[in-house]
Structure 1
Amino acid sequence: MAWLILFLAGLLEIVWAIGLKYTAGFTKPWPSVITLAAMIASFVLLGQALRTLPLGIAYSVWVGIGVVGTVIFGAWLYGESLSVLKVASILLILLGIVGLKLTS
C-alpha cells in the first residue's frame, strides 16, 4: 500500500511542477490554488509512505517519478526537445526507480 501511496505522491508532484508554469508566478488565482493543493497533497502522501518505506528510497522514487513525468509532459505540452541522450537519461532514471523498488 505504501508503494501505491508513493506513486500517487509522485503523480501529484508532476501536477504541481506543471502547474507552476500556469501560475505566472502565483499571480493567477485558480492555477495557483490547484498547484498549491497538489503540492500539499503530494507532501502529505509522501509523508504517509514514509511511515513504512525507508527515507532514501521513498524520496528518490518520488523525485524520480516527478522528474520523468515532468520531462515527458514538458515535451508533450510545450514542445520541449527530447534528444536521444535525454531519452536515454530518462530510461536510466526509470531503471533506477525499478531497481530501488525491487531491492526494498
Structure 2
Amino acid sequence: MIEEKDEIDLFLDSQVKTEKELLQEKCEKTYYAASSQVRRDIMQTICFLGKSKEELLKKTGLDEAALKFHTEILINTDFLYQDEEGVYRLTDLGLKVLPKL
C-alpha cells in the first residue's frame, strides 16, 4: 500500500536546506561549541593523548551531567569522539584548532 502525502509531508519536503544554509548552520554550531571556555578547557585537557570520563571529571571539576552536555556538543560539531574503549579523543578538526584555544 502506498501512502499519500498529506499537507504536513508536503511542508516538510519543502523545507530542504540549501548548501549555503547547511554551511551557515555548521559554522554557527562550530562557533557555539568553541565559544565556551568549559569546552575549550575540555579539549585542552584531552589534548593529544585522550582522556577517560573519570579523568575529565577529575581534571575539569564538572559533574557527570555537565560533562555529558559539553562533550556531546563537541562530538556533534566534530571536535571530539569517544573511541571503542570509552576514551575521549580529539578529531582531526579538534587537533587543528587545539593550538588556537
Superposition TM-score, scaled by structure 1 size: 0.32
Q: Going by fraction, where is strand more abundant, 1 or 2?
A: 2
Structure ranking higher in helix proportion? 1
In terms of Rg, which structure is larger? 2
TM normalised by structure 2 equals 0.33
